[in-house]
Amino acid sequence: MSSRERPAAVLFDMDGTLVDTEGLWWDACVEVACGLGSPLGEADRKALYGLSVEDAALHITAALDTAGGPGGPGAPAVEAMLTEAFTVRLGSGVTTLPGAVALLEALRAAGVPAGLVSASPRPVVDLVLETVGGHRFRLSVAAGDSARNKPAPDPYLAAAARLGVDPAACVAIEDSPTGVASARAAGCAVIAVGLPVTASGVTTVPTLESVDLPLLRRLASGPVPPGA
């Protein structure tokens, strides 16, 4: 595959895309919310899916306000509690999702840079990278590494800028509406894993096992820098 045929980079979401952490994230949210006197329900689970820790903290504090109980901690404190609860669960180990490692290794063999673009805080990202293998990524972007988090385009724009590539030449792989919105707004071609999406510029697949180099090559549209 020549440099002009391949994507300039493939940018991966982390939670729910590369590693099976969505259940751990929900458990962390439940623990924190219940500890503050605001049990979560199924509607909250759907609302929290794919949210950054900042937005999840805002959701929980809003639920506390709605409950009308005594004033709870502010969003920054809840954010710290969520990060701690999630990190503790990750410490027991995480499972990579089917096709993740094989795809990352195929990209390495082809010389295509891989980037990790996560809405999770840096301590969480670094912990997961120990499992997935930090050596498989050219860079990682975590919460706080850009001015705004997903669904804003900033994380993907930051990753492309650090790699020195055009976002339109990149393919982003996501599994949540929040992440898809972020990658689309940045101008990336998007693969949505296990997510029914009908928006233009988004290709849906059941698992990462359905993603290969020919598909990535077809989806990338922008120029690849000389020598990339």
The per-residue pLDDT for range 205-226, each reduced to its tens digit, is 999 999 999 999 999 865 444 4
Q: Which H helix or E strand runs over 161?
A: helix 154-163
> What CA–CA distance (Å, rounded) separates 34 from 60?
10
DSSP 21: -
> What CA–CA distance (Å, rounded) separates 220 from 110?
15
pLDDT number for residue 63: 81
> What CA–CA distance (Å, rounded) separates 19 from 1?
28
User: What are 212's two structure tokens?
Assistant: 């290969």
Tens digit of pLDDT for each residue in 62-109? Answer: 888 765 555 568 889 999 999 999 999 998 889 999 999 999 999 999
pLDDT number for residue 226: 42
Which is nearest to 51 in space by CA: 77, 74, 26, 73? 26
Tens digit of pLDDT for each residue in 35-56? Answer: 998 889 999 998 888 888 899 9
> What CA–CA distance (Å, rounded) separates 94 from 86?
11
Tens digit of pLDDT for each residue in 186-200? Answer: 999 999 999 988 788
pLDDT number for residue 212: 97
Any alpha helices (H) in 15-121, and if so which ranges?
22-35, 42-48, 53-67, 75-90, 100-110
**Residue 148 Cα distances to 4, 62, 89, 164, 214, angstroms:** 31, 20, 26, 20, 32
Measured N-to-C along each axis, helices 75-90 and 53-67 cross at an angle, to the nearest 10 degrees, of 120
Side chain identity at residue 103, one-letter code: L
55 catalytically annotated: no
Tens digit of pLDDT for each residue in 131-163? Answer: 899 999 999 999 999 999 999 999 999 999 999
> Are 110 and 1 within 8 A, CB to CB?
yes
Exposure letters 91-112 (e unless 16+ CB within 10 A, then b) = eeebebbebbeebbebbbeeeb
Tens digit of pLDDT for each residue in 163-188? Answer: 999 999 999 999 999 999 999 999 99
